[in-house]
A and B are shown apart, each in its own frame.
Chain A
Amino acid sequence: MKKTWVKGFSLLLILSLFVGLFAGCSSDKDESASDEKKSKATANEPGWKTNKDPITFDWYVNFSWFAHKWGDDVVSKYVTDKTGVSVNFISPAGNEAEKMNTMIASGKLPDFITIGWWEDAVKKMVEGELVLPLNELADKYDPYFYKVSDNAKVEWYKQEDGNTYGYPNASSSPKDFDKYKELKPSNQTFLVRKDMYEAIGSPDMSTPEGFLGALQAAKEKFPEVNGAPLIPFGMNEFTDVGNTSLEAYLQNFLAIPMEKDGKVYDRTEDPEYLDWLKTFRKANEEGLLAKDIFIDKRPQMEEKIAQGRYFAMLYQRSDLAAQQHALYQKDPNSVYIAVDGPANSKGDAPTLAGDSISGWTVTLISKDVKDKERAIQFLTYLISEEGQKDLYLGKKGETYDETGGKPEFKPEVLDLLNKDRAAFDQKYGASYKYWMLMDTNMNLQWLPPSSEPFKQMEDWTKGKTVSFAEFDGINPTGTSAEGVAASKIAQEWGKTLPKLLLAKSDKEFKKIFKEYKKKRDSYGYDKVVEYQQKTYKDNKAKLESATK
């Protein structure tokens, strides 16, 4: 008797193992039932108000550093109470492209996808019909979408089939760009450590001579910072494809045009740009470029910024906020301030990148979405003024108050925001913690006045921004012939750039650059140029129709 029981049990166990083995293969289809329901939403009434049943959407964010959880803070609890929607954020643990490609290859995507607009994956998802057209969803379930979305952005992201699949964040239509030009800062800055800069007499660093002289003076006066050698000049990390600080940033500071006579201009070949690269080469020859800058990855850089070990930097100001704060608390004089950086020989003002119409990321809705109606309604809510306000300011009475008609963060909330961003995110979750659909223009009205040590850096960039919208996405990607050529060229450049800086003489520099150009041609540069020109033209046409 006992034996048969054991037998039966073990058989059951084995069976359950089998079931477990194949359980992953079945797909759950039962959740799309609500599709059939006719939506009651109208163009004047937000759809999300009609249905507040609890639902959880999986939301993939294609940035490995994004590690926030929904539901811990005031904002997310408030939004869930209001709309019934909870979010389960998913972000890649390692390489983003790898994770994204794997998901695309599997043909199944989470409900929402937020990804940089420039990524090849966006194109693939659209071509592979893995994402739903927002306009069709809006027509069917939530016409209110058209009321709150910016038509220029919808037009800009319209594909050849006439559908729009993604909605951007941090994007500025050409009209808005002009409107907010003086108000909105750029992220690209040339920074120096305040106390050191002042100690060497606040020199002009916009000419090659001034630049080298200042680095030299700083190195002589401050050979060490807290016992470790000073790093005279810092920049973004070197990757396989180069260094953003020494490419777009430097080119923007030198005000090198993106196009000439209607043709996309090859900025790398510009004599002004090459002169400045030679200046950096010279800096290396004189021992002013530390080895660290070629080796360090982001974590090491952040540590060194917090220690104040760089004298000057070509870096994005928002990425050193935490470190800047640490420096400020130690000694308000040791912070980094923005000053006039490298400029071209004519001394033109820099043309820094402002928010373009492409924005930063786009958010798409997967074809496998649990509930199409609720998804588009939630998206509409997030881009509407109400949603933006909820995400930025939080809950009235809890995180903000309206004094004299103007909503403002409560003093203790603002205090925490300025002092400890991590704790602020954990507790309140307001102010762009959930930035996936942030409308940076709309949010300007609620923005608390920025305070030191950040205000100086922001103010310096204001009015110096330019929109590069028509050049967005002109570089080919993927496995197309021009895409392969472009990625080979990029890899070659990634190898060439450090060599250029490490060259022993200007002659060697020239030789290396010549070799690079030769290789670039052999990889099929003409195909890349052709693609760039075509995309640029298309973009221009799209922008024109978007501004109409």
Chain B
Amino acid sequence: MDVKIQQPEQQLIEPLVKPGAKSKRFKKAAKRVNNQKYLQIMALLGVVWMFIFNYIPMYGLIIAFKEFSIIQSISEAPWVGLMQFKEFLQDENFLIVLKNTLGMSLIKLIIAFPLPIIFALLLNELTSLKLKKAVQTISYLPHFISWVVLGGILTTWLADIGVINDVLLGLGMIDERTNFLASPDNFWAIVILSDIWKELGWSAIIYLAAIAGVSTELYEAATIDGANRFQKMWHVTLPAIMPTIAILFILAVSGVLNSNFDQILILKNSLNESASNVIDTYVYQLGIQNARYSYATAVGLMKAIIAFILLLSANKIMKKINGTSLF
């Protein structure tokens, strides 16, 4: 069917192209390339870089289907089919790490995702520019502390003689000192709260930028219509930054199988193990530390495929709901 429809179109086009036009067009293009040759070469460098560092390493993915040992080359390793994948799915720790990974990610998605938006909206309402700048700077400062450092600080703060115990005890919110990292019950809360504290200001930047791009005429029109500040926020600002929110949401959904590896590795200990072992740390233990690279690659590949499916579905849903999508 398709072919039949296409044929007349082609016939329509072809007579329009005069003989020799092809080479003319090619010449034109060549001239244009020639004019931009330095820019093109610079762009080419980027392409070469991407090819070398992003595409060639993809060849290594085949070790997920092999039993790779680091003293052999990849091609020498024997094929084992889906063995590595099966092993991970049959692993009795699989369900626990999946539960921890998804649990923390979903709570983060529900709580930590909207917070920067609210924060940005509120920050936008501040009339004093000085105060706005100060709040913004202070709120994104923690982002620049590495988790390695922050983890050490948090461990001390959360210890039984740490500052958080002092404060809670002083406020009468707890009766006796506890070491918060010493039980699985608190772990998710600690991870999520510390992550919000660290990244809130930083994540708000992109929304603030989007808000800055909203045309002032819309606000003026809303004012004339008698909208108050809250209504303006709800009916003007929010719809205007919706595409940004949608795109970031799509990306966040595709990342639910990821967890903040540094953070969890550092805060994890033998007492909170049952709540803190996530896919990433488990693969690190089994795959990297014990040099089972095939296994680690298989899990990584599986994660990437699931993330890709999630990305596509989130993208599709978003497109249906409000017409914005990544592609």
The chain A residues found within 8 Å of chain B, CB to CB, are 7, 10-11, 14, 17-18, 21, 95, 97-98, 101, 104-105, 120, 124-125, 127-128, 130, 227-229, 238-240, 291-292, 294-295, 299-300, 478-479, 484, 487, 491, 494-495, 497-498, 502
Q: Is B71 an interface residue (CB 8 A)?
A: yes
- Say whether chain A's binding surface is mostly helix, strand, loop, or mixed: helix
Cross-interface CB contact of A229 among B70, B160, B291, B292, cutoff 8 Å:
B160
Give min CB distance, B95 to chain A, whole Å.
15
Give min CB distance, B323 to chain A, whole Å.
42
Q: Is the CB of B42 within 8 A of A14?
A: yes
Q: Which residues on A sit within 8 Å (CB–CB) of B6? A: none
Q: Which residues on B sit within 8 Å (CB–CB) of A101? A: 70, 288, 291, 293
Q: How many Å lie between the Cα of A422 and that of B182 in the bound state?
A: 34
Q: How many Å lie between the Cα of A18 and that of B239 in the bound state?
A: 47
Known contacts A101-B291, A229-B161, A479-B292; A294 and B71 CB within 8 A of each other: no
Q: Is the CB of A484 within 8 A of B270?
A: no
Known contacts A14-B45, A104-B71, A124-B70; A295 and B289 CB within 8 A of each other: no
Instruction: Return the chain A residue nearest B269 by Cβ.
Output: A295
Give min CB distance, A454 to chain B, whole Å.
29
Q: How many Å lie between the Cα of A98 and that of B290 in the bound state?
A: 9
12 more CB-based (< 8 A) A-B contacts, given A10-B38, A295-B181: A7-B38, A17-B45, A21-B45, A95-B288, A101-B70, A105-B70, A128-B72, A130-B71, A295-B182, A478-B69, A498-B270, A498-B271
Q: Is the CB of B70 within 8 A of A292?
A: no
Q: How many Å lie between the Cα of A506 and that of B48 in the bound state?
A: 64
Q: Is the CB of A120 within 8 A of B179?
A: no
Q: How many Å lie between the Cα of A227 and that of B177 in the bound state?
A: 14
Instruction: Return the chain A residue nearest B292 by Cβ.
Output: A479
Q: How many Å lie between the Cα of A497 and that of B273 in the bound state?
A: 12
Give min CB distance, A245 to chain B, whole Å.
13
Q: How many Å lie between the Cα of A228 and that of B159 in the bound state?
A: 11
Q: Is the CB of A98 within 8 A of B71?
A: no
Cross-interface CB contact of A127 among B71, B182, B285, cutoff 8 Å:
B71
Q: Which residues on B sit within 8 Å (CB–CB) of A98? A: 288-289
Q: How many Å lie between the Cα of A95 and that of B49 in the bound state?
A: 28
Instruction: Return the chain B residue nearest A128 by Cβ.
Output: B71
Give min CB distance, B41 to chain A, whole Å.
5
Q: Which residues on A sit within 8 Å (CB–CB) of B260? A: none
Give min CB distance, B48 to chain A, whole Å.
7
Q: Is the CB of A292 within 8 A of B159?
A: yes
Known contacts A14-B38, A494-B270, A498-B271; A291 and B179 CB within 8 A of each other: yes
Among B45, B67, B72, B271: residue with most chain A CB under 10 A: B271
Q: Is B213 an interface residue (CB 8 A)?
A: no
Q: Is the CB of B270 within 8 A of A478?
A: no
Q: How many Å lie between the Cα of A289 and that of B293 in the bound state?
A: 38
Known contacts A95-B289, A101-B291; A294 and B67 CB within 8 A of each other: no
Segment 5-36 of B: residues with Cβ below 8 Å from A: none
Instruction: Give 9 nearest A-B pairs by CB, closest first.
Output: A128-B71, A238-B270, A291-B182, A105-B70, A291-B179, A498-B270, A295-B269, A294-B271, A487-B290
Q: Which residues on A sit within 8 Å (CB–CB) of B72? A: 128
Q: How many Å lie between the Cα of A129 and that of B67 in the bound state?
A: 20
Q: Which residues on B sit within 8 Å (CB–CB) of A104? A: 70-71
Q: Is the CB of A294 within 8 A of B269?
A: yes
Q: Is B114 an interface residue (CB 8 A)?
A: no
Number of residue pairs across A and B with beta carbons under 8 Å? 90
Cross-interface CB contact of B269 among A18, A125, A238, cutoff 8 Å:
A238
Give min CB distance, B206 to chain A, whole Å.
31
Q: Which residues on B sit within 8 Å (CB–CB) of A97? A: 288-291
Q: Which residues on A sit within 8 Å (CB–CB) of B179? A: 291-292, 295
Q: Is the CB of A120 within 8 A of B291?
A: yes
Give min CB distance, A128 to chain B, whole Å.
3
Q: Is B152 an interface residue (CB 8 A)?
A: yes
Q: Is B258 an interface residue (CB 8 A)?
A: no
Give min CB distance, A547 to chain B, whole Å.
32
Instruction: Return the chain A residue nearest B70 by Cβ.
Output: A105
Q: Which residues on B sit within 8 Å (CB–CB) of A228? A: 161
Q: Which residues on A sit within 8 Å (CB–CB) of B45? A: 14, 17-18, 21
Q: Is B324 an interface residue (CB 8 A)?
A: no
Q: Which residues on A sit within 8 Å (CB–CB) of B259? A: none
Q: How many Å lie between the Cα of A484 and that of B271 in the bound state?
A: 25
Q: How many Å lie between the Cα of A295 and that of B158 in the bound state?
A: 11
Segment 232-288 of B: residues with Cβ below 8 Å from A: 269-271, 273, 285-286, 288
Give min CB distance, A21 to chain B, whole Å.
7
Q: How many Å lie between the Cα of A471 and that of B182 in the bound state?
A: 36
Instruction: Return the chain A residue nearest B148 by Cβ.
Output: A94
B154-192: CB near A (< 8 Å → 1, else 0) gives: 010001110000000000000000010110000000000
Give min CB distance, B298 to chain A, whole Å.
13
Q: Which residues on A sit within 8 Å (CB–CB) of B293? A: 101
Q: Is the CB of B270 within 8 A of A294?
A: yes
Instruction: Return the chain B residue nearest A487 by Cβ.
Output: B290
Q: How many Å lie between the Cα of A105 and that of B63 in the bound state?
A: 13
Instruction: Return the chain A residue nearest B177 by Cβ.
Output: A229
Among B152, B179, B270, B288: residue with most chain A CB under 10 A: B270
Known contacts A101-B291, A127-B71, A292-B159; A14 and B270 CB within 8 A of each other: no
Q: How many Å lie between the Cα of A368 and that of B181 in the bound state?
A: 47
Instruction: Return the chain A residue nearest B285 by Cβ.
Output: A240
Q: Which residues on B sit within 8 Å (CB–CB) of A292? A: 159-160, 179
Q: Is the CB of A491 within 8 A of B271?
A: no
